[in-house]
């Protein structure tokens, strides 16, 4: 029972109880988990990644489409197979797109498909920008860009869970278009806690490492003490400022590959003190 229909319980506790009912929680898509397991296996090859991805025709078609874009294919020689496309994009870019698409098509949230595409495009953008920030950091700062990408990809998972498990009308609420502190305050007033805490609770129950779900819980806090949390906060803000109208994951991939976007990130980093 959701907190919206159980007024006898304090709002916050009722929401938490619902989230901690493991049997009623949605699960991550099998394809997402399979790709993640392949990536986490140090002995896996590009062929293993190809075999994991080719199980889904839509994701396969998307990867080939991106590989044939002008950025990756300036000479106009189209990739005719998934393995060719992966070799052109590389393991990192391929896996990023595949994980994001697996969430888009395997983790259904209660809103229209256009809104779903925008939701996961934003998440993908935050993950990609986390990676790009890592590249531009001073050499003495050694971080795990793959972990930061995953944190960015999942940073708003609490919003999806609120819509799936707590309130089917979540994405129809006026505040669904808010971000930052305005969104946090609206969610706390409505559900007793906000999507950052919801995300942390659920990721912990799904067995994610502490450092992942702790980052998720901190991603709207501008007073973060860890470098990783500050990067996630900055990546989210950059996405809202410069990629607010993105419609799909493919568009994010193309825009963030533009050298001008590296300059945007550099400009933001100059204001920070890492």
Among candidate residues 194, 190, 191, 245, the one with its CA nearest the CA of residue 221: 194
Amino acid 9: pLDDT? 60
Instruction: Tell which residue, 206, 102, 97, 229, has the closest CA to residue 155.
Output: 229
- Taking alpha carbons only, the member of 151, 158, 175, 162 closest to residue 235 is 151
* Tens digits of residue pLDDT in 46-81: 999 999 999 999 999 999 999 999 899 999 999 989
pLDDT digits (tens, 9 = 90+) for 71-118: 999 999 999 899 999 999 999 999 999 999 999 999 989 999 999 999
Task: Indicate the SS3 state at residue 23.
Answer: helix
- State the distance between the two ends of the chain, measured CA to CA, in whole angstroms: 45
Over residues 149-171, the pLDDT tens digits come to 999 999 999 999 999 999 999 99
Mean predicted lDDT score pLDDT of the chain: 91
Just give the CATH number of 111-274.
Answer: 1.10.3210.10
- Which residues does 58 contact at the CB level (< 8 Å), separation at least 6? 101, 105
pLDDT for residue 1: 38
DSSP code of 148?
H
Per-residue model confidence (pLDDT) at position 7: 47
Q: Is the pLDDT of residue 216 over 80?
A: yes
The pLDDT value recorded for residue 177 is: 77
- Judge whether 240 and 156 are in contact, CB under 8 Å: no
Nearest to 161 by CA among 204, 128, 129: 204
Displacement of CA 218 from its chain's centroid (Å): 15
pLDDT at 2: 43
Q: Give the per-residue pLDDT at 40.
A: 93
| Contact present, 179 and 118 (Cβ < 8 Å) | no
C-alpha 40/C-alpha 37 separation (Å) is 5
Please give the pLDDT value at position 8: 46
For residues 244-273, average pLDDT: 93
Q: Is a pLDDT exceeding 60 seen at residue 258?
A: yes
Residue 127 CA to residue 212 CA, distance in Å, equals 13
Distance (Å, whole) CA 91 – CA 155: 22
Backbone angles phi, psi at 71, to 5 degrees: -65, -45
Tell which wins on pLDDT, 22 or 116: 116
Query: Of the candidates 4, 16, 35, 40, which has an alpha carbon nearest to the alpha carbon of residue 202?
Result: 16
Residue 22 confidence (pLDDT): 66
Give the count of beta carbons closer than 10 Å to the beta carbon of residue 112.
10
pLDDT of residue 178: 82
Question: Count of CB atoms within 10 A of residue 210's CB?
Answer: 10
Helices (H), the chain: 11-19, 30-40, 46-53, 57-67, 82-89, 91-106, 113-136, 145-153, 157-161, 180-191, 195-205, 210-218, 227-242, 249-257, 259-269
Q: Provide the residue ranges of all domains of the chain, joining segments of one domain with +.
A: 21-107, 111-274
pTM over 0.95? The answer is no
For residues 100 and 5, which has the higher predicted lDDT (pLDDT)? 100
CB atoms within 10 A of CB 241: 10
């Amino acid at each position: 029972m959701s907190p919206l229909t159980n007024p006898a319980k304090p709002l916050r506790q009722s929401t938490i109880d619902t989230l901690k009912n493991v049997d009623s929680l949605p699960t991550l898509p099998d394809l997402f988990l399979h790709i993640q397991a392949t990536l986490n296996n140090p002995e896996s090859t590009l062929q293993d990644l190809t075999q994991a991805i080719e199980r889904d025709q839509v994701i396969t078609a998307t990867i080939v489409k991106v590989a044939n874009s002008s950025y990756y294919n300036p000479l106009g020689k189209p990739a005719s197979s998934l393995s060719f496309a992966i070799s052109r994009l590389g393991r990192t870019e391929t896996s990023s797109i595949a994980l994001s698409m697996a969430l888009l098509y395997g983790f259904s949230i209660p809103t229209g498909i256009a809104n779903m595409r925008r939701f996961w495009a934003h998440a993908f953008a935050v993950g990609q920008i986390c990676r790009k920030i890592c590249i531009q950091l001073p050499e003495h700062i050694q971080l795990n860009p793959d972990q930061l990408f995953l944190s960015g990809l999942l940073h708003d998972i609490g919003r999806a869970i609120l819509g799936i498990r707590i309130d089917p009308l979540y994405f129809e609420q006026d505040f669904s278009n808010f971000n930052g502190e305005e969104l946090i305050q609206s969610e706390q007033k409505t559900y007793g806690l906000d999507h950052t805490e919801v995300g942390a609770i659920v990721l912990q129950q799904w067995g994610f490492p502490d450092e992942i779900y702790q980052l998720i819980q901190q991603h709207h806090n501008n007073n973060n003490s860890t470098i990783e949390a500050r990067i996630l906060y900055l990546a989210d803000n950059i996405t809202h400022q410069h990629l607010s109208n993105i419609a799909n994951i493919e568009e994010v991939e193309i825009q963030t590959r533009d050298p001008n976007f590296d300059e945007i990130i550099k400009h933001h980093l100059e204001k920070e003190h890492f």
